[in-house]
Structure 1
């Protein structure tokens, strides 16, 4: 079990090192000057963060809608249960009073 954990850590570590190395080499050998490259990176970071923000907002809206649907279902079920309990209680009260009258 520990062997798999160590292999997983090595894989993740290797991926991180590779990503950092790739990004560094990409910046060093970029076809544009430093200022242009930094601007391109900045624009891509802004665009990506905006996309992530929009996805989070969409997911939050979806979850909120689902929670409201669930709340409505629970309220309906609770109302049905309360009505059922009241009906049973009334039924028992009436059957008990009828039973007492017959004695």
Structure 2
């Protein structure tokens, strides 16, 4: 995860924790029955849990998309490098074979001249 995503996740977690703490403190100090307060806390906790799940899903999708983009870019780059290396190998291989053939012909010519 990138630094920006870590910061975003940290800020999101802080906001959710702050919101939860604020809601709970507000309810605890509200002049209502304990049963009603517990019901409201439970409802708010469920709401916050759902919101956290939704935010997690959003962040998770963004990370998956970025991973997919990075992965496909890496594969494409690796393929390009492989083709470049293969093309270079083929080019220089052909040149070496050609030069070697020329050298063999020169040596054979030289040996034939020496035999005469």
The alignment's TM-score, normalised by the length of structure 2, stands at 0.63
Cα RMSD of the aligned pairs, angstroms, is 1.9
Structure 1 unmatched ranges of 5 or more = 1-18
Instruction: Kindly state the Cα deviation for residue 31 of structure 1 after the two structures are TM-superposed.
Output: 2.2
Structure 2 unmatched ranges of 5 or more = 1-20, 104-116
SS for the counterpart of 2:43 is helix
Higher relative contact order at CA 8 Å, sep ≥6: structure 1 or structure 2? 2
The alignment's TM-score, normalised by the length of structure 1, stands at 0.70
| Alignment partner, residue 70 of structure 1 | 70
List structure 1 segments (4+ residues) > 2 angstroms apart after TM superposition.
none
| Alignment partner, residue 59 of structure 2 | 59
SS for the counterpart of 2:30 is coil
Aligned length: 81
> Once the two structures are superposed, what CA deviation does each residue of 1:50-89 show, in whole Å capped at 9, x if it has no partner?
1111111111111111111111001000100110011011
- Which structure has the larger Rg? 2
SS for the counterpart of 2:31 is coil
